[in-house]
Amino acid sequence: MVEPAVDLAHGEAHDDHAHHGPQGWLKYLWSTDHKVIAMQYMFTGMFMALVGGFMAYVFRMQLAFPGINVPGFGGVSPGEYNALVTNHGTIMIFWVAMPVLLAAFGNYLIPLMIGADDMVFPKINRLSFQVFFVSTIVILASLFVEGGGFAGAWTAYPPLSADSTYNLTPLGSTLWVIGVGLEFVAFLLGGINFITTLMNSRAPGMRAFDVPIVVWMIVVASILFMLSVGPLLAGAIMLIFDQTIGTGFFNPATGGDPILWQHLFWFFGHPEVYVVLLPAMGVVVEIITTFARKKLFAYRTVIFTIVATGVLSFFVWAHHQFIAGIDPRMANIFTITTLLISVPIAELCFIYIATLYGGSIRLTTPMLWALAFVAEFLIGGVTGIFLGAAGADVYFHDTYFVLAHFHYTFFPIAIIGTFAAFTYWFPKMFGKMMDERLGKIHFWGTIIPFNLIFIPLFVLGMGGQHRRIYNYDQFPDIAGGIFQDMRELATYSLLVMLAFQFVFFYNCFKTARSGPKAPKNPWKANSLEWTTESPPPHGNWHPLRMPVVYRGPYEYSVPDREDDYWPQNDPDGAPLQVVDDDDS
Amino acid sequence: MRPIATTRAATGTETGKLAVWWVLASEVVIFGGLLASYVMFRLGHPEWADAAAVTNTTIGAFNTFVLLSSSLTAVLAHQAAERGDGRKAAMYLYCTIGGAAIFLGVKTYEWWYEISHGYTITSNGFWAFYYTAAGLHAFHVIAGAVIMAFVARDAAKGLELHRVELIGIYWHFVDIVWIFLFPLLYIAK
C-alpha cells in the first residue's frame, strides 16, 4: 500500500532526479530520501491504525453484545478476545503512535525545519524503515499462527507471557516479543539519526534556540526512548529465553521474580508516554503560533520544561505497580514524583493558552485539531492524578477508569495530534490544499464520538467494572441496567467514529485528484520548510541556495513590519538580529 | 554521494563520532538493565555463591588480559591512522581481531567445560544470568570484530581512516562491559 501514495507525494518533483539509483517503484522502496522514508513510515502506520481500529471494533461489539456474530469477523471466542485486546494495544502504540508521530514526522520535518538536505545517515535511515517493515510483518504474521496471536495483554506480565501453558499461544507470544524487539531496534537506528542530525546539521546561523519546538520535542523524545528502552530490550531477551529455552528469570520456582518484568517494562513504559506525547505537543506549538499569528509565549521555558519532564519521567514508573505488592513507602515516593510530573505538563498547557491569548485566531482544520488536543489531553492529565495517587489507585486499578484515562491521553496524542500534523503539513507533503469543509466535518465527526466512547467508560470504571473481562453477563451486578446502556453507547459511538474516517479518506483522494495546487507557504508560516517548493524536491533546496537563518521561528505580528510573519531565512533586518529576549 | 547534511558539524564534533557515542549510550542502558537485575537478584539469593564458585577465575582473568591488550592495539591503530599510515592501522586492527578470536576461543572452551559438567542455562538463576550476560557480550565482540574487519580492509587502502577511531571507541566499550562482567560473574564468589 506504500507505493501509490508515495508516488502522489513525489510525482513530477522527482522526474529530473530519476537517474539517481534504481528506477520505477524500486526507487521508492530503496530510496534514502528522508521524505520518502517518512511517507513509508506514515502509510505503514496508517494501515496498522486500520488494523488496530478493526480490532477495537470487534471486541467492542463483543463487550456490548456478548456472543454476537460480529459482521466481518464472526463469533469471538475468549481466546480470540484476549488476542484482540493484546494486539490492539501493542499495534496502536508501537505500530501507529511511534511510527507516525515520531518516525514519519521526525523524518519529514527535522531536515526541512533545520535547513538540511537530508538526514546525516540516509542509509541507516533506510535500514531503520526496513527493520521496522520486517517487524510489521512479524507482528501481523503472529496473528495467524497456530494458537493465534499473543493473548497475554500488551504489558506482557509473566507468568502469563512466559509460560504457554497459561497463555495458550506458544508461537504467537514468541513472535510478539521478536516483533516488538525488532521495532525497538528500528527506532534506535532512527533516533540516533534524529539526534545527530539536529546536533550537527543545522543551517548556518541557526542556534539551538532558533530551532522550531517540534524538532526539539522529537529529538528529546528520541533521547528519552534511547535511554529507557535498553532495560526492556534486556528484559525481552530474558522473556524470550523463559519462553523458549526454559530459563526462569521471571519464575519464582527457580529463583526468579515476575515483578522484575514489571520494573523493566514500566521503566521503559512510562518514559514511552512522553516519547509519543512530546512530538504531539510540539506539533500543537507550530499550529497555534501560526494560526494565532502570535509569537510563542516563553520559548526557552518550553525547552527547559520538556527537559525537566524527560528527567522526571524516569522516576515515576512504579505508579503502575501500586497493587503489585511493592513496599508502601516506595508507593509514597512514586506518588510524589507522579504528581510532580503533572506540573511541567500543566505548564505547557498554560503556555499554549498564553500564546493564544490576544492572538488573531483562525479556526482552520489543523487549528481545530490542535485546540482539541489541548482540551482533550487535559482531561486525560487530570484523571491521571487519581491514578498517580496510591490511595485512589488501589480502588481504580484495572478498572475501566484506567482504560478511559489512558485513551484520553493516547487518543489525543496518536489520533488528534496526527490529524493536526497531517492536515497542517499536507500542502507541503503533497502539494495540494485539502478541502476545509470536509476537514471540519471529519473533525467534529471524530471528536464528538470520541468523547461519547470514553466518558461512559469512566463511569463504568468508577462503578467497578474490571477491564479484563470477556463477557459481563457472568456478573449479575453489572450485567444489565445502566452498565449495559453505557457499554452500548460506547460501542455505537465507536461505530460512528469509524464511519466518519471515510470522510477523511475521501478528502485525501479528492484532494489528490482535484484539489487546488498549494503555494510554497499557504499558511504564511515562518519555519524553513515553507521556503521550498510544495512538495520539496530531492535535496529540499537547490544545493547552492541552502537556507541561512537569521532569527527564531515564531516572529509573528512583529510591530512596524508590513507582513505579520517573518520567515527565518529573510535577511531583511538581519544586522538587528533578535536579541535573547525570548522569555520576556 | 553524501548529503550536505552529513558534511556539516555545528557542534564541532564529527557526525560519525557523535553517532557512535549515542550508540554506546543506548548500549549502556541495555547492559545496565541486565546487570542491575542480576545484582538485585544476587543480593536476594546468597545461595547463588555456590554456583558462582564453579566459574574459573584464572581463565576469566586471562580473558580480561587478552581483551585489554586488544584495546591497546586498537589505540595504536588509531594513532597510526592519525598519522595517515593506513597499512599500519590495518595491521593493528587485525591484531585486535586476533585478540577477539582468542577471547572467543577461550570462552568456547569455558562454556564447553561448564555445560559438559551439567551447568547449563536452565540450571538455576545464576547460570541463566551467566550465559545471558556473557553471551550478549560475546555477541558484541563478534559484531565488533566483523565491523573491524571491514574498517581494516578499507584502511589498508588508505580509505575512510576516520573510521579507525570510531570502531576503536566501540571496542573500548566492549572492553568496559567485560570489566563489569568479570568481577560480577567470576570474582564475587
- Render pLDDT for A274-292 as a digit per residue (tens, 0 to 9): 999 999 999 999 999 999 9
- Considering chain A, what is the average pLDDT of its residues? 91
Question: Is the model's pLDDT at B54 over the cut of 50?
Answer: yes
Interchain CB contact of A543 with B (< 8 Å): yes
In a mutational test of the B interface, the residue from A118, A223, A241, A247 whose CB has the highest number of chain B CBs within 10 Å is A247
Sign of CA dihedral A416, A422, A427, A430: negative
ipTM of the complex as predicted: 0.94
Spell out the domains of chain A, with CATH numbers in brackets.
3-576 (1.20.210.10)
List the beta strands (DSSP E) in A131-261: none
Closest residue on chain B to A543 (Cα): B4
Nearest to A567 by CA among A537, A533, A532, A518: A532
The A residues from 490 to 509 touching B (CB cutoff 8 Å) are none
Cβ neighbours for A418, distance < 8 A, ≥ 6 positions apart: A100, A101, A280
What pLDDT, in 10s, does the model give residues A396-451?
999 999 999 999 999 999 999 999 999 999 999 999 999 999 999 999 999 999 99
Residues A149 and A86 sit within 8 Å (Cβ to Cβ)? yes
Nearest to A136 by CA among A50, A9, A36: A50
A524's grid cell: 504564511
Interchain CB contact of A233 with B (< 8 Å): yes
Which of chain A's residues have a Cβ under 8 Å away from the Cβ of B19?
A: 120-121, 192-193, 196
Interchain CB contact of A577 with B (< 8 Å): no
CB A116 to CB B30 under 8 A?
no
Residue-level pLDDT at A254:
83
Residue-level pLDDT at A569:
92
If phi > 0 it is left, if psi is from -120 to 50 it is alpha, else beta; for residue A514 that is: alpha
Q: Is the peptide bond between B3 and the residue preceding it cis, with omega within 30 degrees of 0?
A: no
CB A116 to CB B136 under 8 A?
no
For chain B, the residue count is 189
> How many other C-beta atoms can be found within 10 angstroms of the C-beta atom of residue B144?
21
Angle made by CA atoms A65, A70, A74, in degrees to the nearest 5 = 130
B85-102 CB burial, b ≥16 within 10 A, e <16: bbebbbbbbbbbbebbee
Out of A118, A200, A230, the one facing B33 most closely (by C-beta) is A230
In a mutational test of the B interface, the residue from A196, A260, A272 whose CB has the highest number of chain B CBs within 10 Å is A196
Q: What is the mean pLDDT of residues A208-227?
A: 96
Q: How far apart are CA A432 and CA A508, in angstroms?
A: 10
Spell out the domains of chain B, with CATH numbers in brackets.
15-40+59-187 (1.20.120.80)
Which of chain A's residues have a Cβ under 8 Å away from the Cβ of B48?
A: 255
Q: How far is B142 from chain A (nearest CA, A)?
A: 18
Instruction: Give a three-class secondary structure readout of A28-65.
Output: HHCCCCHHHHHHHHHHHHHHHHHHHHHHHHHHHHHHHC
B46, HSE (Cβ side, Cα atoms, 13 Å): 0
Q: Residue A129, class by beta-carbon neighbours within 10 Å (0-12 exposed, 13-18 middle, 19+ buried)?
A: buried
A287's grid cell: 499550529
Residues A18 and A27 sit within 8 Å (Cβ to Cβ)? yes
Question: Is the model's pLDDT at A15 over the cut of 50?
Answer: no
Q: Is the peptide bond between A159 and the residue preceding it cis, with omega within 30 degrees of 0?
A: yes
Q: How far apart are CA A473 and CA A461, in angstroms?
A: 16
Question: Is the model's pLDDT at A584 over the cut of 50?
Answer: no
Q: How far is CA B6 from its chain centroid?
A: 28
More confident: A145 or A581: A145
Packing angle, helices A105-114 and A170-200, rounded to 10:
0
- Residue B173's pLDDT band (boundaries 50, 70, 90)? very high
What pLDDT, in 10s, does the model give residues A306-330?
999 999 999 999 999 999 988 889 9
